[in-house]
Structure 1
């Protein structure tokens, strides 16, 4: 019912073997970050105090932006998420029709730390040659290489020109 009202959307699980995707539980993602903020009583002042709650709202915002980009993109793209039995996860995975992947982690901090790469590194290992790029979207201002095709990229790149070209 909430999906029909465009309040929630299921984000299916990415798995290397497509049949495995069917049996794993999807992630339920809120679509409206403003409504989520209101429902959780997240004010700007409280967002500064509780970064984890703000992180959930920020992830919702990024999901909405990725959905917008998906509808206007030239190719056919699907959005997934990844979580394994060790609770290693990637917030969003963008897969094109050829099976190429971009992993996206959303962080509500002004710095990208080594621990932020754990999910993207695992995804790159599992996906092999299909992995094209890993992006840690963060609250900083610089695009920084983090190694092995993974970059820290400012959140503002979602509505501006992308500073990373995965060629």
Structure 2
């Protein structure tokens, strides 16, 4: 797998048939190791171990509906009231983060209504604060630490 622009973590990888599997501490099971999963695992550990987000508030591949279509979010962090706080979209390291990807995630967030949106391919990370009342996407220089909101 590609080296990423995220802190390394003590990952567990095993092999099952032709597939490599990585242990997902959030789902508590081994998951097929794809390039996107590699980024998702690194980013989840970054949120937990470096930005202090509690594991208990993070969901992986949560289902949501948009225009009658079933979609899944890569990572969603909830606040203490159980409302989406941070939406994270992960892409494989070889995929560029394009305007189309930003548009896709902002459209998903119209339904989810998270305060922060993050897009990462493990090499580049973009974060926005969303103001739904003023319909603004404000870019942030840093991903916010967990604040207990």
What's the TM-score once normalised by structure 1's chain length?
Answer: 0.46
Q: Deviations over 1:101-135 (max 9, x none)?
A: 1100111236212342355324421244xx21100
Unaligned runs of 5+ in 1: 1-31, 43-51, 154-161
Alignment of 1:78 with 2:61, yes or no, is: no
Q: Which residue in 1 is equivalent to 2:41?
A: 60
Q: Judging by fraction of residues, say which structure has more strand.
A: 2
**Residue 149, structure 1, aligned to residue 132, structure 2:** no
**Number of paired residues?**
112
Determine if the alignment matches structure 1 residue 138 to structure 2 residue 121. yes
The answer on 1:35 being equivalent to 2:35 is: no
Equivalent positions of 1:1-167 (< 5 A) are 33-35=11-13, 38-39=15-16, 40-41=19-20, 53-68=34-49, 72-73=52-53, 78-80=57-59, 81-84=62-65, 86-98=69-81, 99-109=83-93, 111-117=96-102, 120-128=105-113, 131-141=114-124, 143=126, 148-149=136-137, 163-165=142-144
Please provide the CA RMSD for this pair.
4.2
Give distance in 1, aligned partners of 2:49 and 2:80.
18
Asked if 2 retains the 8 angstrom alpha-carbon contact of 1:90 and 1:119, the reply is no
Secondary structure at the aligned position of 2:38 is classed as helix
* TM-score, length-scaled by structure 2: 0.50
